[in-house]
């Protein structure tokens, strides 16, 4: 899969690992998932750290999947386009409300953003039974045990 994210065709070109962020646009309590700045930035500054303590940097994320659609960030050209793609799938959060319809339409035409209807799915008919994986256990099985989900997602 990492070769499918290859940018360039030189002898020493390399692919990119797939880092897919799955998120609902809002967390419990009505708090938006998408924010302008991670809490880790303030934590790092408060504790005198030279960099923010984050596990995955934004430029490593290849896809963002929400109930609104998919942002194929690995296809985006530059930070502004990545931000526009994220806004396009951020729903009615403050970040999502910044999405410009004409930019989103361009990103959809270029395959950087995909909404359910772009994938042949009618939103009104979308249901879990259409998913390839029915459970986290399916993902573990398909990965040959390489995927070890956090405890809160385990059903066994």
> Among residues 146, 151, 80, which one has the least CA distance to residue 112?
80
β-bridge partners, 63: 20, 72
In this prediction, residue 15 carries a pLDDT of 65
Domain ranges across the chain: 2-121, 126-156
In this prediction, residue 56 carries a pLDDT of 76
Q: The pTM is what?
A: 0.74
In this prediction, residue 23 carries a pLDDT of 82
In this prediction, residue 13 carries a pLDDT of 67
Q: What is the mean pLDDT of the chain?
A: 85
Extract the residue ranges of the chain whose pLDDT is less than 50: none
Distance of alpha carbon 140 from alpha carbon 150, whole angstroms: 11
Buried/exposed code over 33-60 (b: 16+ C-beta within 10 A; e: otherwise): bbeeeeeeeeebeeeeeeeeeeeeeeee
Distance of alpha carbon 54 from alpha carbon 116, whole angstroms: 31
In this prediction, residue 154 carries a pLDDT of 66
In this prediction, residue 102 carries a pLDDT of 98
- CA torsion, points 7, 9, 14, 18, in degrees to nearest 10? 40
H runs (alpha helix) in 19-152? 39-46, 79-88, 101-109, 136-142
Measured in residues, the chain has a length of: 156
Distance of alpha carbon 16 from alpha carbon 11, whole angstroms: 15
Pair 20, 66: CB distance under 8 Å: no
Structure-block tokens of residue 59:
């430029």
């Amino acid at each position: 899969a990492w070769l499918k994210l290859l940018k360039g065709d030189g002898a020493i070109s390399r692919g990119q690992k797939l880092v897919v962020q799955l998120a609902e646009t809002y967390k419990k309590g009505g708090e938006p998932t998408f924010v302008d700045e991670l809490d880790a930035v303030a934590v790092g500054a408060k504790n005198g750290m030279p960099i923010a303590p984050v596990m995955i940097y934004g430029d490593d994320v290849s896809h963002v999947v929400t109930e609104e659609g998919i942002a194929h960030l690995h296809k985006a050209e530059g930070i502004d386009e990545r931000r526009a793609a994220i806004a396009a799938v951020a729903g009615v959060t403050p970040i999502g409300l910044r999405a410009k319809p004409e930019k989103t339409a361009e990103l959809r035409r270029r395959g950087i953003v995909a909404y359910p209807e772009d994938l042949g799915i009618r939103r009104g008919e979308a249901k879990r039974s259409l998913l390839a994986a029915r459970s986290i256990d399916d993902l573990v099985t398909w990965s040959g045990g390489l995927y070890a989900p956090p405890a809160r997602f385990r059903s066994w």
